[in-house]
Structure 1
Amino acid sequence: MIEYYKTGADGKTALVEAPEPGCWINVVDPTAEERALLENELGVLPEFLRSALDEEETSRIDYDDDVNQIFVIVDYPTAKFTPGTRDTLPLQYDTMPLSMVFMPDKNQFVTVSLHENLVTEDMAKGRIRGVDTRYRTRFLLQLLLRISQLYLIYLRRIDRLSSNTEARLHASVRNEELIQMLNLEKSLVYFSTSLKADEVTLNKIMHGRLIPLYEEDQDLLEDVLVEIHQAIEMCNIYSNTLSGTMDAFASVISNNLNIVMKVLSVITIVMAIPNIIFGFYGMNVALPFEGVPFVGTWVFPVLVTAVCCIVAAYIFKRLGMWH
């Protein structure tokens, strides 16, 4: 999909039918024909386009002086839902690359992404104030600011989801909650890696060597860096907390298993005692109180059983399993 947006004299950004000077070209999961259009007609470098469509590409900034194009790629957060359950809680959070190409000669700005995302959607639908496609640097910084804000929003959701899952784990340790906690821990790892890479790219932009920055742009870039630093700190805190929680529950599960094994071991040992004693009754040997009819038939077996119960109770108390 390729869409063209341009901000008019009235300050409103709207769709246009063809690329114009000062427009924003939004590209989402382009087909082979659309890729050819980007390369041949719009003049986007093929290597920039290949990097933009690589899901594993890391955040960076590049410049080609032959065609005077600047390439910026950053990671934005996204939520993975179960198919057909968009309105329910996400299974896991991840990051995806969003690429931006400056084309000063044509006075155009291109964004390329593999999937539809909230960042470009908010810009296209006018949810971000002060968007003007004619000012490419400011447009880039507004995109970066929206990405950093999304990180903060998703991190707060991860924290709430982690707290809810932990509360359910206190009531009952089940595989579903443990898997959810593991997915959240993986999400924080993805966020931390992407945020650090984005921070490096922002620092390069801040130097102003490749992208010229005006005074207002400097203020906006500082706001973006503040949001990114806050997201990195939150990510580290939540990751350490979640990791400690997972370790604690792993210890609880191991401790519960040890208790169960202790109980089973004690029961096995205690039940073995009467089996050994009563097993003698099937042998041709003389037994205690064998000549006394009532005592040999009832009193001795009951006495052995009572002794086993007393021994079991003593062992349970010594092991701290019975208070």
Structure 2
Amino acid sequence: MIKTIQPTNNQSYQWIQLEDASVDEINQLVNEFDLPHDFITSSLDTNEISRLEEHLNKNGDHFTLLVINYPYVQENEDIRQRYQTQAISIVYNHETLITSFQSSFTDIYSYLIDDSKKVTFDSPELIMLEILRLIARSYLLFIEDLEEIIMDLEMTVVHRTENELFFQLMGINRGLVNFQVAIEQNQQVIESLHKVVKADDNNADIYSKIHDVLIEQKQAKATINRLRQYNDKISDILSNVVNNNLNNIMKVLTVWSIILTIPTIISGIWGMNVPLPGTENNMSHTLLIVGSGLLMLIVYMLFKKNKWI
């Protein structure tokens, strides 16, 4: 679906939004602006990496491509598939801004549009930078959600060892890896853009905003690294708890197997078809049962005293 949005402040540029692009819509924009095909289709590739490219078309128009990965949440998926990233293509020059994205980006970019569906920024470059800022901010918000989940797991991991915990840790780790890779790629692109834009009087506002976006990107990177360390620590704790619980279970089973072996040994000895003391006594059966019980009790108390059970 193609939308064309005009600015409200008498600026001469246009913003073309391409959401969930079809083949015909992609070809339409490629032919109209004489752009490389991948400038538009990059947003459709789930494995697309962030990058910065430039293109000079046959009419002498210069276009810059930014491919940036943004975070989103698949609400209907379990936690192992919930936290994902997807690319958005941003193609711009001084007169035109083209954004190609999938529907998962809608929540992020809707902030840029007011109720009348008209843009309130002075240039395509400023809109592009606001999109970058919102993406960096979105990473921070999603990271905060993951941090809350990790903190909750840290409080319960000592008392719980269900498979659900392992699945949650797997999902969190997968989300953190997705975010970390995307954040590092985005940072490289923004740093390249920061070098391209000159810090002169004409670009002072743009240069300053790129610097602000870069700071938020570095903040997201530092936070994601810290959370990965937390997640690794919780995984280690959970492994230790599981191993400790298994050791305790094995210790209890071993102790009880020793205790229950006592009557087996005694009955086996007095059950042999050879003369033994007390076999002619009518109370021998009862005495053997009572004796076995006493021995079992004594062994149990010894184990209990030494805190083996």
Give TM-score scaled by structure 1 length: 0.85
Q: CA deviation at 1:10?
A: 7.0
**Alignment partner, residue 6 of structure 1:** 6
Which residue of the partner structure matches residue 75 of structure 1? 69
Does structure 1 retain, via aligned residues, the 8 Å contact 2:255–2:303? yes
Tell me how far apart the structure 2 counterparts of residues 37 and 175 of structure 1 sit (CA, whole Å): 51
Partner residue of 2:175? 187
Q: Which amino acid is the alignment partner of residue 296 of structure 2? A: C
2:34 counterpart residue number: 43
In the TM superposition, residue 103 of structure 1 has moved relative to its aligned partner by 4.3
**Counterpart amino acid of 1:285?**
V
Q: Evaluate the alpha carbon distance shift between residue 96 and residue 237 of structure 1 in structure 2; reply closer, same or farther with a 3 A threshold.
A: same
Aligned match for 2:193, one of 199, 205, 227 = 205
| Pair 1:164 & 2:158 matched | no
Q: Mean alpha-carbon deviation: is it higher for 215-224 or for 270-279? A: 270-279
CA contact (8 A) 1:81 1:91 kept: no
Which residue of structure 2 lines up, in the alignment, with residue 285 of structure 1?
A: 274
Q: Is the 8 A contact 2:15 2:96 kept in 1?
A: yes
Match of 1:18 in 2: none
Match of 1:14 in 2: none
Structure 1 residues 211 and 198: CA distance shift in structure 2, 3 A: farther
**1:258 and 2:254 correspond:** no
Shift of 1:141: 0.8
Please give the alpha-carbon distance, in whole angstroms, between the structure 2 residues aligned to 1:220 and 1:209: 11
Q: Select which of 200, 213, 217 maps to 1:228.
A: 217
Q: Name the aligned partner's letter for residue 65 of structure 2.
A: F
Q: Deviations for 1:32-89, whole angstroms, at most 9, x for unmatched residues?
A: 2212222223433213223332211111101123452211111111112126x9xxx9
User: What's the offset of the Cα at 1:209?
Assistant: 5.5
Give me the whole-angstrom Cα distance separating, in 1, the residues matched to 2:85 and 2:194: 23
Please identify, of 143-152 and 307-316, the stretch whose mean Cα deviation from structure 2 is larger: 307-316
Q: For residues 1-323 of structure 1, what are the structure 2 equivalents within 5 Å?
A: 1-9=1-9, 22-67=13-58, 68-82=62-76, 92-104=82-94, 107-117=95-105, 118-125=107-114, 131-132=120-121, 135-208=123-196, 214-294=203-283, 296-318=284-306, 320-322=307-309
Q: What letter is aligned with 2:289?
A: P
The alignment covers a number of residue pairs equal to 303
Cα separation, 2, equivalents of 1:228 and 1:47: 25
**Counterpart-to-counterpart distance in 1, 2:57 and 2:196:** 20
Q: Secondary structure at the match of 1:172?
A: coil
CA shift at 1:167, angstroms?
Answer: 3.0
Deviation string, structure 1 residues 270-289 (Cα, Å, up to 9, x no partner) = 21221122124443122331
How many angstroms apart in 2 are the aligned matches of 1:130 and 1:4? 11
Identity %: 23
Unpaired segments ≥5 residues, structure 1: 12-20
In 2, Cα distance between equivalents of 1:78 and 1:305: 65
The change in CA–CA distance for 1:210 and 1:70 in structure 2 (over 3 A counts) is farther
Could you list the per-position Cα deviations for residues 81-102 of structure 1 after superposition, in whole angstroms to 9, with x for gaps in the alignment?
A: 126x9xxx99631211111012
Alpha-carbon distance in 2 for matches of 1:90, 1:277: 55
User: What secondary structure sits across from 2:277 in the alignment?
Assistant: coil
Structure 1 counterpart of 2:56, one-letter code: D
- The DSSP-based 3-state class of the residue aligned with 1:207 is helix
Structure 2 unmatched runs, 5+: none
Amino acid at match of 1:157: D
| 2:84 counterpart letter in structure 1 | D
Inter-partner Cα distance in structure 1 for 2:104 and 2:278: 88
RMSD over equivalenced CA pairs, Å: 2.7
The Cα offsets for residues 152-204 of structure 1, whole Å up to 9 and x where unpaired, read as: 11111111122223334344322223311221122111111111111111110
